[in-house]
Amino acid sequence: MTRLTRRLLTVLIAVAALALGALPIAALASTAPGLGTAASYAVLAGQTVTNTGNTVLKGDLGISPGSACTGLPAPCTGGGPGTVSGAIHAGDAQALKAQSDLTAAYGVAASSPSNFNETGKDLGNQTLTPGTYTFSTSAQLTGTVTLNGNGVYIFQIGSTLITAPGATVHLTGDAQPCNVFWQVGSSATLDTTTTFVGTIMALTDIHLKNGASIAGRALARNGEVTLIDNLITVPTTCNAVSTSPSASPSASPSASPTASPTASPTATPAPALATTGGGPQNGVPWLLLLIAGYCVAGLGLIVRERVRSV
């Protein structure tokens, strides 16, 4: 092998090493967990759903393996005053299937490779880009968190999710409610007048206090969901997400938003559109293609040198 060939191979190896060093960033791009039949549910509980006041659920309501619900239309007791635009499945086969699909989606979200460790940080006054954010214990939202960019957001929370009164999840840069997921290791509590975005998947309970709203879903696997004058609107469409890898979140406070989060659709959710949580954030694996190209080029040089030496 000539000196020139050895130098070329050295350069190829160095470039491939740099590409491999950057590969984990692309490989860790977050993918939306498919919700299956649970996607059409505004509220899904394991045991009971209790409502007080004029709650509006724009989507389905389900309970399984329990069947008790109050303050909502029949088969719930009380006859209202809460309203449900979709179907109500209390302890039936449809609710059981939705719970099974929720369990699968919960596991996918929990196993998503972490991009950013937010343990001990308040989400308030942060601007975050698409990716998976991990809290080893509880997560707190005081004030406003801004999700900026069209991609998948997964929040892995070891124990509780708690918002302060008036807390807000604000979307910018084409971020979509259908691509935001909150995987909660125990229970979630949204305090009064919280304006929340995304699908909450809690292992135990979900509590919405007076006037809290969600552009998304409240899905509890094993426990109860309590409601007080709330609005929950299931996302019905989800545009293609960005293929670029996640960028580091900005730690500087964002300006106070003047617009409300993405407007919630008013039509009854269409099950055909609500069977997925959005597309994967991963795009074409350019780094892998680059590495493969360099390897092929290097092998070509070696073969050519051996042919010449014969």
Whether residue 300 sits in one domain with residue 177: no
Q: Please give the pLDDT value at position 306.
A: 58
Whether residue 142 sits in one domain with residue 62: yes
| Spatial contact of 192 and 220, defined as CB atoms under 8 Å apart | no
Residue 200 lies in a domain: yes
Whether residue 65 sits in one domain with residue 17: no
Residue showing tokens 């051996």: 306
Q: Please give the pLDDT value at position 142.
A: 98
DSSP H or E stretch at residue 78: strand 77-78
Exposure class string for 134-150: b at 16+ Cβ within 10 A, else e = bbeebbbbbbbbbbbbb
Q: How distant, in Å, are the alpha carbons of 56, 58, 93, 261 from that of 85?
A: 8, 5, 20, 22
Give the separation between CA 302 and CA 154, rounded to whole angstroms: 46
Residue 278 lies in a domain: no
Where the chain has pLDDT below 50, the residues are: 4, 9, 11-13, 15-27, 243-291, 295-296, 303
| Spatial contact of 60 and 84, defined as CB atoms under 8 Å apart | yes
Whether residue 139 sits in one domain with residue 7: no
Residue 44 lies in a domain: yes
The DSSP bridge partners found for residue 195 are: 168, 213
Whether residue 168 sits in one domain with residue 56: yes
DSSP H stretches of helix in the chain: 3-27, 93-110, 286-309
Residue 42 lies in a domain: yes
∠ CA 11-14-16, rounded to 5°: 110
End-to-end CA separation in angstroms for the chain: 12
Whether residue 215 sits in one domain with residue 167: yes
Residue 300 lies in a domain: yes
Whether residue 200 sits in one domain with residue 303: no
271 φ, ψ (degrees, to nearest 5): -55, -35
DSSP H stretches of helix in 66-220: 93-110
Whether residue 202 sits in one domain with residue 296: no
Whether residue 211 sits in one domain with residue 230: yes
Residue 279 lies in a domain: no
Whole-number CA gyration radius for the chain: 24
Name the DSSP class of 122. B
Residue 15 lies in a domain: yes
Whether residue 296 sits in one domain with residue 186: no
The structural domain count of the chain equals 2
In sequence order, what are the residues at sequence separation of 6 or more whose Cβ sits closer than 8 angstroms to the Cβ of residue 74?
Answer: 88
Pairing of strands 231-233, 213-220: parallel
Give the separation between CA 232 and CA 21, rounded to whole angstroms: 43
Structure token pair of residue 113: 């490779």
Q: Please give the pLDDT value at position 300.
A: 57
Q: Please give the pLDDT value at position 248.
A: 42
Containing structural domain, residue 193: 36-273
Whether residue 23 sits in one domain with residue 40: no
Give the separation between CA 31 and CA 58, rounded to whole angstroms: 26
SS3 207: strand
pLDDT in tens, 118-158: 999 999 999 999 999 999 999 999 999 999 999 999 999 99
Q: Please give the pLDDT value at position 30.
A: 83
Residue 280 lies in a domain: no
Whether residue 179 sits in one domain with residue 63: yes
∠ CA 142-113-14, rounded to 5°: 120
